[in-house]
Structure 1
Amino acid sequence: MTDNKDTQAAEIDRLMQSLDKLTRRQARNQRAAHAKGLLQGICSMLRPTDVVLDCGANVGEVTVPLAQTGAHVHAFEPDPFAFAKLSDATRDFANVTLHNAAVGTTTGTINLMRAENFYDNPRGASVKSTVISGGRKIDETTDNSIQVPLISLPDVLRDLHATHGQIAFVKMDIEGAELDILEVMLADGLFDIVRLTVAETHENKFKALRDRFKVLRAAVAKAHPPTQVNLDWI
């Protein structure tokens, strides 16, 4: 009888885990569909005089649609593998400025760490490359890390605003590094110089940062509507 109960309990646990995985996958798919629709709406409203930033451009899946609008696109991608693909994807666009660098809150160099399976699947794994320690399934050994340039995104925003006026759009998908930047943008009023900022936050990937992400989300929601700052990009 005890064995049957244990077996039933194990099966229930397995089913609950499967249900949780399906629920999370459905939520992610819904967010992806929303982000795709949002990007289409953004592109439909961009003008050639607009300036937009794609931070964490990877191979150019967002950069290219932005470039097709005629707006001037600054695309930032630190991983050399992804940057090569990004360069190929945007080579015919004179309105794209590429930056082979990570973005942060300071300028210098920083250690870029890659996923454990990077060399098995560099295209798929390159989206996980990060400058933040403690991420899930990230190889932090020196064999799988490289030094890359680091650019202060707050400084870039200030400089572009001084030259061009309001920045039309900023997208951030930078595997945890968005936390420091978003905190600075909120504290320094930099969201006000951007028409729309979207970011994917990575609290699920960085357990130690979850409390800070929670505080940030609450503060941003209090200060700005989601039509100006959207932290549910994917």
Structure 2
Amino acid sequence: MDNRIARADIMARRLAWGARQVGIARTLTGLARLAALRLRHPAQGRIRTCVGGLDIFFNYPSQLMPMLVVFQDLLEPELAMVADCLGPGRVAIDVGASIGTWTLCAARTGALVHACEPDPENFASLGQNLARNGLESGVRLYRQALGSGEGWGVNAPEDRLYLNQVRLADASAAGGTGTRVQTLEGFVRDLGLDSVDLLKVNTAGCEREVLAGGMALFRQRRIGLAMFLDGLAVRPWLDELRAFAYTLGVHDGRRFIPVASSHDLDRVRPGPMSRYVVVQRDAAQAAR
């Protein structure tokens, strides 16, 4: 019961915030669209975003993103960073790509995107969405997870596939039949990359494990900018990155707002659709 109340509260706050961004009329139209979708219960839904005109197809109900359906846009303030720091010749890694909303935005800049998604249904939709938008040539797809070690993982399935988690299991027990898990450091090494311009990590609560497997890259300052889905488990690890000349903060859609520590994130967060902690390499400190 408490979880349902918490989810309803989050939904209400996101609706109110989104309505202020796009207007009451568009929000009401979107709510009617969501209600019609739930009444018809089709096998697949489609949203064409108002900004950028991206065609996003999803299986219903397992891949339903209610706010995307209502607002016909992602409305994630952090997406402004994608256009600012990516472009032709740049490299991005999307860990937990799901059906491809972030990957589509990154690929549209002309950057090369390496997208990891372990769930087979999400992975199939990811590839289809890239093809439907003519962006598949700029994206490399990997049906695997990234975590704290190398081996095989077990999937903890959820009704909504974007909530699925992959946890590293005993490699000998898995016997190579589960989901492949690799560290971020090993993944970057195998790609032959010297550096990564933008890293995005949204793994439904396993962000700490991904960061643990990539700490060496931050220590060597090989990640330019990163965005991690916020969560109490990952915050102490993010604080450690300050020792490697990185600054934590949030992005409000216009600018980066730095904080002294992760304890200050909630105080400066611009709204309920701002879900990521931004980790930015400090060029001045790194040069010392």
Work out whether the TM-score is over 0.5. yes
Q: Conserved in 2, the CA contact under 8 Å of 1:191 and 1:197?
A: no
Higher RCO, 1 vs 2 (CA within 8 Å, ≥6 residues apart):
1
* Equivalent residues, number: 189
Q: Conserved in 1, the CA contact under 8 Å of 2:185 and 2:216?
A: no
* C-alpha distance 180-28 of structure 1, shift in aligned 2 (>3 A): farther
Aligned to 1:122: none
- Cα deviation for residue 154 of structure 1 reads 1.5
Aligned to 1:226: 248
- Cα deviation for residue 105 of structure 1 reads 2.9
- 1:148 equivalent to 2:169? Answer no
Distance 1:177 1:28 in 2: 26
Q: Conserved in 1, the CA contact under 8 Å of 2:152 and 2:181?
A: yes
Identity rate, percent = 21
**TM-score, length-scaled by structure 1:** 0.65
Aligned to 1:193: 222
The higher radius of gyration belongs to 1
Aligned to 2:90: 50
Structure 1: stretches of 5+ with no match in the other structure: 1-13, 119-124, 134-145, 204-209
Q: Conserved in 2, the CA contact under 8 Å of 1:104 and 1:153?
A: yes
Q: As a proportion of its length, which structure holds more helix?
A: 1
Q: Conserved in 1, the CA contact under 8 Å of 2:147 and 2:213?
A: no
Distance 1:19 1:152 in 2: 33
Q: Conserved in 1, the CA contact under 8 Å of 2:118 and 2:179?
A: yes
Amino acid at match of 1:73: V
Aligned to 2:166: 131
List 4+ stretches of structure 1 deviating above 4 A: 17-21, 27-30, 32-35, 227-232
- Cα deviation for residue 113 of structure 1 reads 1.3
Q: Conserved in 2, the CA contact under 8 Å of 1:111 and 1:131?
A: yes
Q: Conserved in 2, the CA contact under 8 Å of 1:102 and 1:148?
A: yes
Aligned to 2:196: 167
Distance 1:190 1:28 in 2: 39
Distance 1:159 1:178 in 2: 21
**TM-score, length-scaled by structure 2:** 0.54
Alignment of 1:9-20 (within 5 A): none
Q: Deviations over 1:183-224 (max 9, x none)?
A: 343466357101101111444xxxxxx4xx453243235652
RMSD value over aligned CA atoms? 3.8
Distance 1:29 1:192 in 2: 39
Structure 2: stretches of 5+ with no match in the other structure: 18-66, 68-72, 169-176, 250-255, 263-274, 278-288
- 1:26 equivalent to 2:13? Answer yes
* C-alpha distance 19-189 of structure 1, shift in aligned 2 (>3 A): closer
